[in-house]
Amino acid sequence: MDFDGARGSREVVELRLQIENLESRLATLKTQLAVAEKKDILTKSQDDFVAKPSIKPGTEDSHGALDFTNLKRGTLTEASHSRWPLQNEEYTRYGRQMILPEVGLPGQLRLKDARVLIVGVGGLGCPAAAYLAGAGVGTLGLVDGDTVEISNLHRQIAHSTATVGMSKVDSAIKYLSSLNPLVRYERHPEHLAPSSAIDIFSRYDLVLDCTDRPSSRYLISDAAVLTGKPLVSASALKTEGQLVILNNPPRSPRDPAGGPCYRCVFPKPPPAESVLSCGEGGILGPVVGVMGVLQALEAIEILVAGPIVSDASNGTVEAEPARPTLLMFSANSQPQFRSVRLRSRRKDCAACSSAATISRRSLTSGLLDYQTFCGTVAPVDMLPAESRISAAEFSNLPSDSRGVLIDTRDETQYGICALPGSINVPWTGDAKSWAAKASSLEDVARAHGPAHVVCRLGNDSQLAVKAFQEHTERFEAKDIRGGLRAWREQADPEWPDY
Amino acid sequence: MSIPKPPPDHCTILYFAAATSYTKKQYDHLPTPFHVSRLPDVLEERYPGIKSKVLVSCAITVNLDYVDLEEEADKDNDGLLVTAGDEVAVIPPL
């Protein structure tokens, strides 16, 4: 054993120990130097193309840019006083990932030095934040204007029954702080707005898009391009998910070697009426969870790898245009994961090309309206009053005046709860074929009195009543205003609120 | 569900997300060859309305590579041809 062999001379042992200590101190200093040098190069190359942020000194909140500078200085001073670059607890806490050659001490120091912004603290943002906090990312900023609802909890793992009603940002920080108190958490308990996006993004190194609607995806992508930040973007709905790393490397908008942005891949937003939220389309917890975990993985890989010193900066080799992959996950397909190669930057991209029309000014001044760009869906209100009946009135009708009751929700929702005697004719989106199908049903054709139509929220049922009126002989059809939600509020408080 | 191989002289069209909902299918086998820029018209014939309701915002890949339909249309006859055995994916933003 080593101990026995070394027992011979106490002096030899002591000298060896001293050498070992000095060597490890030297190794640490070399690592710190390498990290500092690379950071220097990155800062310089970013300064080359990122215009100075238009923040006036002294106007920041407590998490402003001034704070950031002090923090960095503080970390360095602290490290130089200690024998080791990390605190003892950090070696223990992060040891399992630090012993991976892909991470090592340099990788851990880069994570500690990193500032990551997570936009959206829901199904994607919760697992992403948890793994990034666990991994020891130095600063995590969280943006979300919503409060925790009980219907979030099946997938939004940082929130809990006890934090229902609390702001999602505060609820997540409560969870994350108990997971890892060594991380600095920054609160942005608001919806990301074009006017503030540039200011907020400027304070971070990397951004995660964990939101759930097209308008925020375009805004986040534009702001990431304008501030020169790589963007890890994911989305999930029903049983499917998508993951893509955009604007990486984050070159200046005129440089075709930079990674494409969201607009390069999806230049046209989907028609507003086709966009489903998780509340409308449904979402399986592990599906969105897997996508959020993958976002954390990609973020860690980018941060640990450190800044890429491109050949182009040496003036020798022209950098190849970056073409990222889009990873698609589909729980019900075989294989579940597919990955396709995307395009390089679009020559006429509105955000990241030399023909770009989107500027910091167009965001901060509010000239760009993302809601208008993506379209909005006005609540359906298409029927005259005589074709509608309130849920309360309907519940008070004697049973022989109720006529026939048609429920236009899909079979799955109808299977969760249905009104007694109702007939399920799922709305198809096509008025003529739906009306033909509904009126051909024996129970509908035979029924005396009006057809009452109900759905979940009272939109499809109006379309269905109109379809009846326009495409069938049956003119007497009435919409139950506000659907089954109104039924619950006005007639039956025990009705399932799914 | 795994996707079967297409019959001779056919390609496979894979549908994702909103494209699956609209076609109510995970895939189609379509006769080849055709210019990829014609894909929206080919699908519109089978699924009326799909062009404006779904395809307008989709990313299209052929054999796992992104294809810009407008750029391909500008190339006229030099545009990418979808041939037998090719796999085309219709990918709406999620």
B17–A238 CB contact, under 8 Å = yes
Q: List the domains of chain B with CATH numbers.
A: 11-91 (3.10.20.30)
| Position A392 pLDDT exceeds 60 | yes
How do strand B87-91 and strand B59-62 relate by DSSP bridges?
A: antiparallel
Report the run of H or E that residue A478 belongs to, with start and end. Answer: strand A477-481
CATH superfamily placement of domain A385-490: Rhodanese-like domain (3.40.250.10)
Residue A60 has pLDDT above 70, yes or no: no
pLDDT score of B77: 82
Better pLDDT: A80 or B10: B10
Confidence tier at A10 by pLDDT (50, 70, 90): confident
Using the predicted structure, report yes or no on whether residue B11 has a pLDDT greater than 90. yes
pLDDT band at residue A69 using 50, 70 and 90 as cut-offs: very low
* Least confident among A31-40, A107-116, A239-248: A31-40
Instruction: Work out the average pLDDT over A89-93.
Output: 97
Least-confidence region, from A49-58, A115-124, A355-364: A49-58
Residue-wise pLDDT tens digits, A252-295: 888 889 999 999 999 999 988 888 888 889 999 999 999 999 99
Query: Which stretch of DSSP H or E encloses residue A139?
Result: strand A139-143
Task: Summarize the confidence of residues A459-488 as an average pLDDT.
Answer: 91
Give the closest of A271, A334, A338 to B2, CB-based. A334
Nearest-Cα residue of chain A relative to residue B89? A340
Q: Do B64 and A328 touch (CB under 8 A)?
A: no
- Tell me the HSE value of A367 on the side-chain side, using a 13 A CA sphere: 9
- Among A477, A280, A461, which residue's Cα sits nearest to residue A380? A461
The reported pLDDT for the residue numbered A61 is 42
> CB–CB of A217/A197 below 8 Å?
no
CA distances from A133 to A74, A179, A229, A273 (A): 20, 8, 20, 37
Closest among A324, A338, A335, A333 to B63, alpha carbons compared: A338
Bigger pLDDT: A42 or A389?
Answer: A389
- pLDDT of A23 above 90: no
pLDDT digits (tens, 9 = 90+) for A322-381: 899 999 999 998 899 999 999 999 999 999 999 999 999 999 888 889 988 998 777 778
Inter-chain CB proximity B53 and A340 less than 8 Å: no
User: Mean per-residue pLDDT for B17-25?
Assistant: 93
Long-range contacts of A313-317 (CB under 8 A, 24+ apart): A313/A45
B31 near B86, Cβ under 8 Å? no
With an 8 Å Cβ cutoff, is B91 touching chain A? yes
Q: What integer best gives the mean pLDDT of chain A?
A: 87
Across the range A395-403, mean pLDDT stands at 88
| Residue with the larger pLDDT of the pair A446 and A397 | A397
Residue A5 confidence (pLDDT): 47
CA A277 – CA A255 distance, rounded (Å): 35
The pLDDT value given to residue A45: 52
DSSP state of A147: B
CA distance B90 to chain A (A): 11
What local confidence, expressed as pLDDT, does residue A72 receive?
42
pLDDT at A9: 75
What per-residue confidence (pLDDT) applies to A39? 65
Measure the N-to-C terminal CA separation of chain A; round to a whole number of Å. 67
- pLDDT for A318 equals 60
Look up residue A473 and give its two tokens.
């002989």
**Catalytic-role residue among A126, A210, A374, A455:** A455
Nearest to A230 by CA among A290, A293, A300: A300
Question: Would you place residue A162 in the very low, low, confident or very high pLDDT band (cuts 50, 70, 90)?
Answer: very high
| Lowest-confidence segment of A138-142, A161-165, B48-52 by average pLDDT | B48-52
A210 is in an annotated binding site: no
pLDDT for res A62? 39
Chain B positions touching A269 (Cβ under 8 A) are 57, 93
Taking CA atoms, what residue in B is nearest to A267?
B57
When pLDDT is cut at 50, 70 and 90, the band that residue A42 belongs to is low
Per-residue confidence (pLDDT) for residue A44, from 0 to 100 = 58
pLDDT confidence of residue A31: 73
Dihedral sign for Cα atoms in the order B62, B67, B70, B75: negative
B59: β partners: B91
Predicted local confidence at residue A446, as pLDDT: 82
pLDDT of A204 over the 80 cut: yes
pLDDT at A263: 96
Q: Which residues of B touch A341 (CB under 8 A)?
A: 61, 64-66
A55 — pLDDT class (breaks 50, 70, 90): very low
Q: Enumerate the domain spans of chain A.
A: 87-311+319-374, 385-490
Under CATH, what is the fold of the domain A87-311+319-374?
Rossmann fold (3.40.50)
What confidence tens digit (pLDDT) does each residue in B35-63 have?
A: 999 999 999 999 999 999 999 999 999 99
* Range name among A51-55, A75-79, A460-464, B50-54 with the lowest pLDDT average: A51-55
* B93/A241 touch (CB, cutoff 8 Å), yes or no: no
Q: Are A172 and A142 within 8 A, CB to CB?
A: yes
Say yes or no to pLDDT of A57 above 70.
no
Cβ atoms within 10 Å, residue A96: 9
A152 known ligand binder: yes
Q: Distance (Å, rounded) from C-alpha A336 to C-alpha A331?
A: 6
Q: What is the reported pLDDT for A58?
A: 39
Q: Residue A106 CB: number of other CB atoms within 10 A?
A: 18
